[in-house]
Chains A and B, each alone.
Chain A
Amino acid sequence: MSFWEYANPQKFMQLSRKVMPWVAGASVLCLVGGLAWGFFGTPDDYKQGSTVKIIYLHVPAAMMAINAWVMMLVTSLVWLIRRHHVSALAAKAAAPVGLVFTLIALATGALWGQPMWGTWWAWDPRLTSFLILALFYLGYIALWQAVDDPDTAADLTGVLCIVGSVFALLSRYAVNFWNQGLHQGASLSLDKEENVADVFWFPLLVCIAGFVLLFLALVLLRTRTEIRARRMGALLARERMG
């Protein structure tokens, strides 16, 4: 019994059929519970008032936007090295989800920034690097759409994902150099004294768990769809041949 067994589409479909409803259910539970707790069960911040509550959407979405790209990088590497089709399809399935999370982070950030910073948008390093991340997602998705042959598309997007990761990281630190930040620093680090207060921290943790599970559920669902679409294409091709 090894992890690689699930590279077999049949095995993957069997497992994901069983796991997916639980993941989706847990994600809904966490999101509803965490958001309700966050919105109604926590006090207003003394400086930010009730706008602080956007943290429960903004922070988890931003975290998952980055983690989705990391997951795509890992699955692309698995595809390029071990040639497991499920892996390539999972990367393809994750990209639009990651893009939407990036846009959620940008939109909620703008909504919060308007009352707090007095502007919808500032060319702050974090905001800028998220905009660039969104462009990387767009390019990646567009390349998948543009190439007809699925294996060629998987290879090319895999190479793009690896090169893109390096340049995304470079851009992240380049924009730091280019402008001073307006955005507050990390407030969830495990190794720092000063972090977000526990009242906000616990519901936030539930929301983060909810977003992770939501991402997992969506990727599983989309990967299953991709596998089914691939099978359907194969069946149609066989029918045309015979």
Chain B
Amino acid sequence: MIALLVRDMRLAMRAGGGFGLGLAFFLLVAVLVPLGVGPNSTVLALIAPGILWVGALLACLLSLDRVFALDFEDGSLDLLVTAPIPLEGVVAIKALAHWTVTGLPLTIVAPVLGVLLNLPVDGYVWLVVSLALGTPALSVIGAFGAALTVGLKRGGLLLSLLVLPLYVPTLIFGAEVVKRGAEGMATGTPLALLAAITAGAAALLPFASAAAIRINLR
């Protein structure tokens, strides 16, 4: 399983685009929003938590179709299905690999973009904490969407349509944590709910994703 994780991360880093693309997209969102909204710093501070979370979510979405599609095309997904490790484990590892190359870097650069968006000082800790806790859920849910659409040509748009409604609770709680943190309020409740979504999704969704892949490869 570790070999699979390393392989997936290597592929994502070396095969061009996938790794940097999400980060570049996130950066662009953070640069373009002030250009569109105007440089008023109070307005920016007000919308910064939401914009940063939406940007992270869309950046995550960008690389989702690569989770299974490339392996499906060259046939290695068939080998993984027949491999001795359970497919549920494969899915979980692939989601983890996706998170390590998208969610983790996003979490690390988010404070820098927070400066661009004039995020209040109290918000930085909560931004990092909420992204670190929430982005794994985005990867796991995204892997489910990718598993559903793996056999389809031009599944990209459909993938976004399927995955975006599933992202709603994560986005709401994640952005709420940062908003409350930035305003200096207690963040315990949304943070606990966000962690609960991540834990629940990571525990249960790999089974649904594995079922979807088995159906698609039948």
Contacts and interface: CB of A to CB of B under 8 A. Distances in A.
Contact of A177 (B144, B176, B215): B176
Nearest to B167: A167
A146 B216 contact: no
A162 B208 contact: yes
Interface of B: 144, 148-149, 151-152, 155, 158, 161-162, 164-166, 168-169, 172-173, 176, 189-190, 193, 197, 205, 208, 211-212, 215-216, 218
Contacts of A156: 148, 212, 215-216
Contact of B169 (A146, A155, A171): A171
A105 B164 CA distance: 22
B168 A132 contact: yes
9 contacts: A135-B161, A147-B152, A156-B216, A159-B211, A163-B208, A167-B169, A168-B165, A171-B169, A175-B168
Given A160-B148, A170-B197, A171-B168, 14 more contacts: A132-B165, A135-B161, A139-B158, A142-B158, A143-B158, A147-B152, A159-B148, A163-B144, A163-B208, A164-B165, A171-B165, A174-B173, A174-B193, A177-B172
A160 B161 CA distance: 12
B172 A160 contact: no
A136 interface: yes
B155 A139 contact: no
Contacts of A164: 165-166
A178 B162 contact: no
A135 B166 CA distance: 10
In order of increasing CB-CB distance, the 3 nearest A-B pairs are: A174-B169, A135-B165, A170-B169
Contacts, number: 74
A228 B152 CA distance: 26
Contacts of A170: 168-169, 197
Nearest to A141: B161
Nearest to A169: B169
A178 B172 CA distance: 7
Contacts of B162: 139, 142-143, 160
B76 to A, nearest CB: 21
Interface in A145-194: 146-147, 152, 155-156, 159-160, 162-164, 167-168, 170-171, 174-175, 177-178
A219 B34 CA distance: 49
B168 A167 contact: yes
Contacts of B158: 139, 142-143, 146
Contact of A174 (B144, B148, B172, B215): B172
Contacts of A135: 161, 164-165
Nearest to B175: A178
Given A139-B161, A146-B155, A178-B176, A159 B166 contact: no
A164 B166 CA distance: 7
A138 interface: yes
B54 to A, nearest CB: 14
Given A135-B164, A142-B158, A155 B215 contact: yes
A143 B148 contact: yes
A159 B152 contact: no
